[in-house]
Structure 1
Amino acid sequence: METKKLCFLLTCLCLLYHSCLVSAFNYADALEKSILFFEGQRSGRLPADQRMTWRGNSGLSDGYPYHVDLVGGYYDAGDNVKFGLPMAFTTTMLAWSVIEFGGLMRGEAGHAKAAVRWGTDYLLKAATAAPNTLYVQVANPTQDHQCWERPEDMDTPRSVYRVTSQNPGSDVAAETAAALAAGSIVFRRSDPAYSAKLLHTAMRVFDFADRYRGSYSDSLSSAVCPFYCSYSGYHDELLWGAAWLHRASNNFSYMSYIQSNGLTLGAQDDDFSFSWDDKRVGAKILLSKGFLRNKIQAFQLYKVHSDNYICSLVPGTSSFQAQYTPGGLLYKESESNLQYVTATSFLLLTYAKYLRSSNAAVSCGSSLVTAGKLISLAKTQVDYILGHNPAKMSYMVGFGLRYPTHVHHRGSSIPSVHAHPGRVSCNDGFQYLHSNSPNPNVLVGAVLGGPDSRDGFADDRSDYQQSEPATYINAPMVGALAFFAGTPLMG
């Protein structure tokens, strides 16, 4: 009798184990695709090893009428504008993904570094073209958004915008410093000279951001608002930039800066969102490593507030306050909600890594939250995006058997320059925006804005809130997927 019970139990365990294996996603495939997406967002002259082959060269004269070379960089989303603030944040998060989880990327590490470098190469140009000047945008967004045309055809004004000592932009400048500093860590071993250049430039740009304080939204007004206004102000970017320079340089002056300025820059605020606009939570997670691993007492405050953030996300704790959809997706905003999901997932995994390295946990009132719990919570979010959701749809284009095909993206929705060499004008392109046909070019790896608060998704190209991709949605997803692709028994 006992033998039969044991056999039955073993059978159940085997079936459960098999079920887990069958339902597990191919995270390595998703990782490869998530990085490939950035090749679809490239501006400038494409390299010989370009894999997203339906794209062509674009923006080859950016900055030239203004006597500055601003060729390159990334288009932020489905339009043809190069916005400096989200591009710098994207670059920072790509670099952070490589720094924390690059060792788990296996064959994709080189492609991930190439994605980082495409961003840092451009940001170097923008930061070194003139003294006390940072170029922060190319193209008039209002006029760009009045057209629906491929980046290879665009003929809207490629206006250039900059911040200076007279018209400051501490937010975009400090984020640029963070991106360059993080990038310097990525290339420290493989290209020491390039790494040193990135770090030196990051220091100079951060000094510019701190010395000439002000929001770029005030300086540039309608050129950046309402598109990428700095709603949170610039204090969070100064803390974030200093945190990255501290990590990249080991220069005591940045620790001193954080100790002296942290409280005025938001160190004591409990924040529950992390995005291209608000960096406070990210800065605290980053700085908490200094306390967890190196016992830097000055950074204990950041560990406390990082714990508060974590507790707000975990259902069942006394501090829980996050909102989840009926299907289990973290929900913050109706517009591009998955940007918050991917960023939060990355922070959960990064903090779990820091906690494990110190045999630490998070106290949420009477509940003790372990690193394993954070990993499990992050996995539910990543799996939701990849298809474990009520719609049984992957919100990563090109991944899985069912994914959105009507993506709000100009280049993807219009026949490519290879299939349709003739120019598609500003107004002629709208026929493709309003078409019911699937996009002719698959923007492989793009994570879209995602479903609504009730898990609803229409796959409607005109609904940019749900169907538009963005570089800052994908960037933290790269790190999260690297973790699950490279961690045993996780896929």
Structure 2
Amino acid sequence: MAPKSFSFPGIFPALLASSLALLLLPTPIIAVHDYHDALRKSILFFEGQRSGKLPPDQRVKWRRDSALRDGSTAGVDLTGGYYDAGDNVKFGFPMAFTTTLLAWSIIDFGRNMGPELKNAVKAVKWSTDYLLKATAKPGVVYVQVGDAYSDHSCWERPEDMDTLRTVYKIDNAHPGSDVAGETAAALAAASIVFRSRDPAYSRLLLNRAVRVFNFADKHRGAYSSSLHAAVCPFYCDVNGYQDELLWAAAWLHKASRKRAYREYIVKNEVVLRAGDTINEFGWDNKHAGINVLISKEVLMGRADYFESFKQNADGFICSILPGITHPQVQYSPGGLIFKAGGSNMQHVTSLSFLLLAYSNYLSHANKAVPCGERSASPALLKQLAKRQVTILSFFTTLCLFVVISR
């Protein structure tokens, strides 16, 4: 089986954390940890994972066109997108989450990415072009291309693969609110990235996000119930689909500013369990991300009706501070965040991203987080995130070398 520690949900936030580390280092880097190089390599990783017809400006020159008939067995065009990990499978759920977070990093911190910003934007578009294909038919979302079992039993380059390219979808009779909700979130977040860069494309993304969200909300259910044999145990939804509905609504609110999404969020906060498992954030659990994202509105002083989300975000921050005992979050002797379960790096990197994002929001509002007798300042959150990124910079370089050199 392909090593899931190298999968998008694990690798991708390393891009975010590495890029955001530039915030912490306003002067030229003369140190052991070259965050600019880590950022470059992290984005380059996406080019090594591209599927389909490669563009002339492809920087990973030894990668060639592959999977040019994806979707043909179902009568649709599903070429493009990204392969997952060392797999040749295209898993829609983690790919969409990857896209959402990459878009978020560009929205909040693109100005700190320097010359890599254009490559980060291209990485988003490579995914959204595919997600548009996967959602082209109303009431249907194509969520996976490739049979994971046959793929994982044959370790080969995508250019040479001869394994099954089975197509899997969700529809009205076979719902998947989790993957559809995440896809809607990705399209909505990306619409913000392209709002000034390509207005027509931005409108297309937002309109599609609205349609996919309506489908996800109307036909509720977990995609791992509809497609258990295909997606489990690889990206089986353990956490439920409720968080993805709120997550998508939050991004649609941010992208469209429509009152309907604000009302949806407020109305469904308790029903869809916004306050659950707030100390976790990843492809299967969006709760901490929901609360941090929405809290920006409160900290800017224009959304008091979202105050409970800020309280949840504050609780998230307090739950992961070193020295505060919490059963779900621990630290290694070297200071690395540790959460029980597989692929620990996905937790470290995604939580580090949220620390930096929330630190930025708090700083602009001149606020700190009260944690009992302690107070978590924006500077403290940046310091904690920087420590995680410093440790991860070595891991990122190592795993990128292993994956891209396979």
The TM-score with structure 2 as length reference comes to: 0.90
Task: Compute the displacement of 1:146 (Å).
Answer: 1.2
Gaps in structure 1 of 5+ consecutive residues = 1-19, 387-393, 398-402, 414-491
Q: Which amino acid aligns with 1:58?
A: S
CA distance in 2 between partners of 1:182 and 1:21 (Å): 31
Partner of 1:8: none
Partner of 2:263: 256
Q: Which amino acid aligns with 2:252?
A: L
CA distance in 2 between partners of 1:324 and 1:115 (Å): 32
Q: Which amino acid aligns with 2:94?
A: P
- State the identity %: 55
Matched, 1:154 2:190: no
CA distance in 2 between partners of 1:333 and 1:384 (Å): 18
**Can you list the C-alpha shifts for 1:384-441, whole angstroms capped at 9, x where unaligned?**
112xxxxxxx2123xxxxx46983x4x732xxxxxxxxxxxxxxxxxxxxxxxxxxxx
| 1:365/1:318 CA distance change after superposition, 3 Å | farther
| 1:81/1:291 CA distance change after superposition, 3 Å | same
Partner of 1:324: 331
**Can you list the C-alpha shifts for 1:358-386, whole angstroms capped at 9, x where unaligned?**
11110000111100000000000000112
Corresponding residue to 1:31 among 36, 39, 45: 39
| 1:64/1:26 CA distance change after superposition, 3 Å | same
Secondary structure of the residue that 1:79 maps to in structure 2?
coil
Q: Which has the larger radius of gyration?
A: 1
Matched, 1:285 2:278: no
| 1:21/1:102 CA distance change after superposition, 3 Å | closer
Corresponding residue to 1:124 among 124, 129, 132: 132
CA distance in 1 between partners of 2:311 and 2:326 (Å): 13
1:279-358 equivalence runs, <5 A: 279-317=286-324, 322-358=329-365
Q: Which amino acid aligns with 1:90?
A: T
Task: Compute the displacement of 1:235 (Å).
Answer: 0.1
Secondary structure of the residue that 1:72 maps to in structure 2?
coil
Instruction: Tell which has more relative contact order, 1 or 2 (C-alpha 8 A, sep 6+).
Output: 1
- Which shows bigger deviation, 41-50 or 288-297? 288-297
| 1:246/1:404 CA distance change after superposition, 3 Å | closer
The TM-score with structure 1 as length reference comes to: 0.75
Task: Compute the displacement of 1:289 (Å).
Answer: 0.7
**Can you list the C-alpha shifts for 1:230-279, whole angstroms capped at 9, x where unaligned?**
11010010010000000000011000100111111112324211010001
Is contact 1:317–1:365 with CA below 8 Å preserved after alignment? Answer: no
- Which shows bigger deviation, 333-342 or 43-52? 333-342
| 1:287/1:369 CA distance change after superposition, 3 Å | same
Task: Compute the displacement of 1:79 (Å).
Answer: 0.6
- Which shows bigger deviation, 167-176 or 314-323? 314-323
Q: Which amino acid aligns with 1:362?
A: V
Partner of 2:104: 96
Flag the structure with higher helix content.
2
Secondary structure of the residue that 1:167 maps to in structure 2?
coil
Secondary structure of the residue that 2:339 maps to in structure 1?
coil
Secondary structure of the residue that 1:395 maps to in structure 2?
helix
CA distance in 2 between partners of 1:188 and 1:253 (Å): 21
Is contact 1:319–1:364 with CA below 8 Å preserved after alignment? Answer: no
Partner of 2:405: 412
Is contact 2:65–2:159 with CA below 8 Å preserved after alignment? Answer: yes
CA distance in 2 between partners of 1:133 and 1:335 (Å): 31
Q: Which amino acid aligns with 2:35?
A: Y
Partner of 1:240: 247
Is contact 2:322–2:331 with CA below 8 Å preserved after alignment? Answer: no
Partner of 2:81: 73
Is contact 2:81–2:127 with CA below 8 Å preserved after alignment? Answer: yes
Task: Compute the displacement of 1:151 (Å).
Answer: 0.5
| 1:22/1:265 CA distance change after superposition, 3 Å | same
CA distance in 2 between partners of 1:182 and 1:70 (Å): 21
Secondary structure of the residue that 1:136 maps to in structure 2?
strand
1:36-185 equivalence runs, <5 A: 36-128=44-136, 130-185=137-192
Is contact 2:42–2:400 with CA below 8 Å preserved after alignment? Answer: no
| 1:404/1:184 CA distance change after superposition, 3 Å | closer
Corresponding residue to 1:371 among 372, 378, 381: 378
Partner of 1:446: none
CA distance in 2 between partners of 1:240 and 1:32 (Å): 29
Partner of 1:395: 395
Secondary structure of the residue that 1:35 maps to in structure 2?
helix
| 1:379/1:406 CA distance change after superposition, 3 Å | closer
CA distance in 1 between partners of 2:148 and 2:325 (Å): 44
CA distance in 2 between partners of 1:404 and 1:236 (Å): 30
CA distance in 1 between partners of 2:221 and 2:132 (Å): 22
CA distance in 2 between partners of 1:247 and 1:192 (Å): 16
CA distance in 2 between partners of 1:118 and 1:303 (Å): 33
Secondary structure of the residue that 2:33 maps to in structure 1?
coil
Gaps in structure 2 of 5+ consecutive residues = 1-27
CA distance in 2 between partners of 1:82 and 1:405 (Å): 19
Is contact 1:348–1:374 with CA below 8 Å preserved after alignment? Answer: yes
| 1:405/1:214 CA distance change after superposition, 3 Å | closer
Partner of 1:433: none
| 1:107/1:21 CA distance change after superposition, 3 Å | closer
- Which shows bigger deviation, 271-280 or 196-205? 271-280
Partner of 1:223: 230
Task: Compute the displacement of 1:175 (Å).
Answer: 0.2
**Can you list the C-alpha shifts for 1:113-158, whole angstroms capped at 9, x where unaligned?**
0000001000000011x22000000011111111111100111110
Q: Which amino acid aligns with 1:384?
A: I
Q: Which amino acid aligns with 1:34?
A: S
| 1:61/1:371 CA distance change after superposition, 3 Å | same
Q: Which amino acid aligns with 1:103?
A: R
Matched, 1:205 2:212: yes
